[in-house]
Structure 1
Amino acid sequence: MNGTILALNAGSSSLKFRLYEVQGDQFYLILRGQFDGVNENPHLAVKEADGKEICNIDLKIGEHMQEDMLERIFDVIKPYTAKSPLQAVGHRVLHGGGRFADPVLLNDEIVDYLETLIPMGPLHQPANLASVKLFRRIRPELPQVACFDTAFHVNIDERAARYPIPLEYEAKGYRRFGFHGLSYTYIADRLREISDYLVRKRTVVAHLGSGSSMCAMRDGKAIDTTMGLTPLGGLMMGTRSGTVDPGLVLTLMEKENLSPAEIKHMLYYKSGLLGVSGISGDLRVLMSSDDPNAKKAIDLFVFRACRELSIMVATMQGIESLVFSAGIGENSSVIRKLICERAAWLGIQIDDEANNANAEIISSPESRVEVRVIPTDEEIVLAKQTASVIAESAKAGTSPVMA
């Protein structure tokens, strides 16, 4: 296909977007933009691909904030789509449930189904779907495609996917799904680009950010992952607890008289780095703090990351490659060093100079495990998957307009 694609990555407190020019199978970045602090102090920053600043403004929270945001996106991209019309919008959607293993052209029935999955992704799924609905109201003629974070993990080892619960609940779809799939798709493709040999290695990818997970992969496919039915499990995160004993939840309900809603709020919004430190869920803030609780939170983050890493290694029965990605993984040489030092028993050794320089390969020549830093790019995956769906729709002769 030829034209432009808008890739939209809506989170609970931010909204990232990119505009791509598509010429056949080639994708060229035109614009990148981001709304931050959308629930408190909204700010919009937009740059062209070469870094030229187009917009950098503070906004006021209004009654129709989300709609205003999308209108502003259209205002910004309008001059860039005059000669190359906008063909579709690709949305990152957190959860596809047991129904979707591939990106899909959205319609009312599919959106209704995705809304039933909100309890399994209360931080992200509502924001993802809100953008879909608003786009339909603003531009009803514009095709919209959902690209799912769960899709990459759809074929993980059956034993990794199952919970040890009664069969009747498994039959209803209660299983482990996994998330950050767009990021893992990008990393798998990047490993394949670097070397056919590299992508065949037993690899653990550590997507470390405000939301964190790990994925065990080989041959570019997921074998196991740390998150489960929801994006609450696995690693300790910025404000999310990661995996806790289910008995803890029951005890909090019985002994502390906490309601399910209160427990959900605590585990999603008040735990993790924020909960342990009592200061912040932002690792950068904790790294610059002298408070002993900040150090405790960082130590626990590393400890839990190494424990989850060992689970991924056990699933694959070995490890040959470790990849760090996402905000913390790409930028924090300190956290990478602490994790690698604690995981030295796996044969991991890093080169301090390379690590401090954020080099592509940070392992030492003596390391039995190759350690890389690969910046992720979820938006280009969104754009490519969206273009593919639109092209297939055109080939099949079906209308791409949401109905």
Structure 2
Amino acid sequence: MLILVLNAGSSSLKYQLIDVETAEVKANGLCERIGIDGVMKHEIAENRKLTIDHPMPTHKEAIEFMLNILTQNDTKVIENIDEISAIGHRVVHGGEYFKESTIIDKNVIQKIERLIPLAPLHNPAHLLGIKICQELMPEKPNVAVFDTAFHQTMPEENYLYAVPHEDYTEHKLRKYGFHGTSHYYVSNEAIKMLQKEQSKVIVCHLGNGSSICAVKDGKSIDTTMGLTPLEGLMMGTRSGDIDAGVIPYLLEKKDMDANQIIDYLNKKSGILGVSGISSDLREVIKAAKDGDQRANICIEMMCNRIRKYICSYAGVLGGVDAICFTAGIGENADIIREKVCSGLEFIGVEIDKNKNKIREKTNREINKTDSKTKIFVIPTNEEFVIAQDTYKLVKA
């Protein structure tokens, strides 16, 4: 069964065509600069990589072009779109409506629309992708897979904010958490590696957007992102945790309005803001090696905050069996893994520096043999989770 997985952004469209039964990725790609000039980066299963300039004034043209690439001429991987069984859509915010993935109907669309105030940059784009697929492929079932769903198992004491309770009951002001498909996939892989169903796992999803999740017996019990993806760790351009008093201070000192403050904290802070170099950690690490002091401070700040949350979640879990690193930084930046683990020996963390430097695109253990706590590097696969959930729902 072939599942088309879509992740529609405001000016981008990521896609994968996956054979769920064999786990083979037939093709994948990214349409960028939709509404500007349009560029597609497309990769076929045989590792044929293409970059194609093509006008994409709207998401509809981007999806139409993607379907043409999959079915026509030299880039063809299927004869026609009839071979696609269903479409799985990543949806960032499911609020309290959705505790699991669901087949999309009018009622589901209405609920995703109601959640737009909680994810104004993401949910409208996802809805656009859903509606276009329904128009272009009306016979195909569409499934929504929510970033927030995995975290719906958090207990009340972990998801509530210390604000008047009516703001939760009336306005749904609470922690929701994100990166749920990644945390679900990685924690399940860790459980397999531990061979231990009753387990205490901490997953560090570290990329341009970063979050940590405490997973007990396969269920999320706490996570760093909150009402929005701004809370928690220091990220590429996001500040992460910050004193709420900073906001009125900036309003006064820099004469900003609310929208400018949100832009400042979401797009101008984090690694970019502290380093003054880039939001790309690779460039900051290079600058640090060349002696740049701000770059060094930026790396130390980032690792310190990750370490503090690991210690916090070890307390929440009552111990830890494994710490997992995943996503772009977590999978590839050995210096970050080493710095994060340094000083955690008191909770049984003993990293093997030689194993840590090995680069492989497979699940691997990087702790010393006698380390009480396991340290895993597990490449995430959010698209496969979306494809699996879509397959299960459509088959059922």
TM-based fold match above 0.5: yes
Deviation at 1:50, TM superposition (A): 3.8
Equivalent positions of 1:26-65 (< 5 A) are 26-36=22-32, 42-51=38-47, 53=48, 55-59=49-53, 62-64=56-58
What's the CA shift string for 1:78-109, capped at 9, x where partnerless? 24343762121101100100100111122333
Shift of 1:296: 2.0
Q: Is the 8 A contact 2:34 2:62 kept in 1?
A: no
What is the match of residue 236 of structure 2? 238
Q: Match for 2:375 among 371, 380, 383? A: 371
- Measure, in 2, the Cα distance between the counterparts of 1:314 and 1:111: 39
Q: Cα gap change, 1:348/1:250 in structure 2, threshold over 3 Å: closer, same or farther? A: same
CA distance in 2, matches of 1:12, 1:354: 39
Name the structure 1 match of 2:347.
346
Moved more, 276-285 or 104-113: 104-113
| Aligned residue in 1 for 2:184 | 185
Which amino acid in the other structure matches residue 388 of structure 1?
A: K
Pairwise CA distance, 1:288: 1.5
Instruction: String of CA shifts for 1:127-176, please: whole Å, max 9, x gaps.
Output: 32222233233333332111001010101122111111112112132211
Q: What is residue 303 of structure 2 aligned with on the other side?
A: 302
What pairs with 1:137-216 in structure 2 (closer than 5 Å)?
137-172=135-170, 173-197=172-196, 199-216=197-214
Taking a change above 3 Å as real, the CA distance of residues 15 and 187 of structure 1, as seen in their structure-2 partners, is same
Asked if structure 2 preserves the Cα contact closer than 8 Å seen for 1:232 and 1:242, the reply is yes
Percent identity among equivalent residues? 36
Q: In the alignment, residue 73 of structure 1 is paired with which amino acid?
A: M
1:70 is matched with 63
In the aligned structure 1, how far is the partner of 2:151 from the partner of 2:350?
Answer: 29
Other-structure match for 1:101: 99
Partners of 2:11 and 2:33 within 8 A in 1: yes
**Partner of residue 399, structure 1:** none
- Number of corresponding residues: 384
Q: 1:341 to 1:13 in 2, by over 3 A?
A: farther
Q: How does 1:218-367 map to 2 (within 5 A)?
A: 218-289=216-287, 290=290, 291-358=292-359, 360-367=364-371
Alpha-carbon deviation of 1:36? Answer: 4.6
Specify the SS of the correspondent of 1:69.
helix
Paired amino acid for 1:28 = E
After superposition, the Cα gap between the structure-2 partners of 1:251 and 1:34, relative to the gap in structure 1 and judged at 3 Å, is same
| Distance change in 2, residues 1:249/1:152 (3 Å) | same
Match in the other structure for 1:401: none
Residue 286 of structure 1 aligns with an amino acid whose one-letter code is: V
Give the CA deviation at 1:124: 2.8
Partner SS state of residue 245, structure 2:
helix
Q: In the aligned structure 2, how far is the partner of 1:76 from the partner of 1:98?
A: 37
* CA distance in 2: counterparts of 1:309 and 1:195, whole angstroms: 19
Structure 2 residue ranges without an equivalent (≥5): none
1:351-373, Cα deviation, whole Å (9 max, x unpaired): 11100004611111232211010
Q: Deviations over 1:205-257 (max 9, x none)?
A: 00000000000112111111111111111001001111111121232234433
Cα distance in structure 2, aligned partners of 1:284 and 1:361: 23
Distance 1:242 1:386 in 2: 32
User: How far apart are the structure 1 equivalents of 2:108 and 2:256?
Assistant: 34
For residue 365 of structure 2, give the secondary structure of its aligned residue in structure 1.
Answer: coil
The one-letter code matched in structure 1 to 2:342 is E
For residues 356 and 13 of structure 1, do their structure 2 counterparts lie closer, same or farther at Cα, with a shift above 3 Å needed?
farther
Cα drift, residue 265 of structure 1:
0.8
Over 3 Å counting, the alpha-carbon distance change for 1:72 and 1:62 in structure 2 is closer
| Cα pair 2:37 2:56 within 8 Å, conserved | no
Q: In 2, Cα distance between the equivalents of 1:122 and 1:312?
A: 30
TM superposition shift of 1:5: 0.9
| Pair 1:80-2:77 in alignment | yes
Shift of 1:42: 4.9
Please tell me whether the aligned partners of residues 6 and 88 of structure 1 are also in contact (alpha carbons under 8 angstroms). Answer: yes
Task: Provide the rounded CA distance (Å) in 2 between the counterparts of 1:56 and 1:161.
Answer: 44
Alpha-carbon contact 1:15-1:35 (below 8 Å) kept? yes
Amino acid at match of 1:348: V
1:233–1:242 contact (8 Å) kept in structure 2? yes
| Alignment deviations for residues 266-307 of structure 1 (CA, whole Å, 9 cap, x no partner) | 111111111111221110111112432222222211111112
Aligned partner of 2:393 in structure 1 is 389
1:62 Cα deviation from its structure 2 partner: 4.7
1:91 counterpart SS class = strand
Task: Give ranges in structure 1 of 5+ residues lacking alignment.
Answer: 393-403
Quote how far apart the aligned CAs of 1:12 are.
5.2
Quote the offset at 1:4 in angstroms: 1.6
TM-score of the two chains, using structure 1 as the length reference: 0.88
Distance 2:253 2:43 in 1: 52
TM-score (norm 2): 0.90
**How many angstroms apart in 2 are the aligned matches of 1:344 and 1:40?**
51
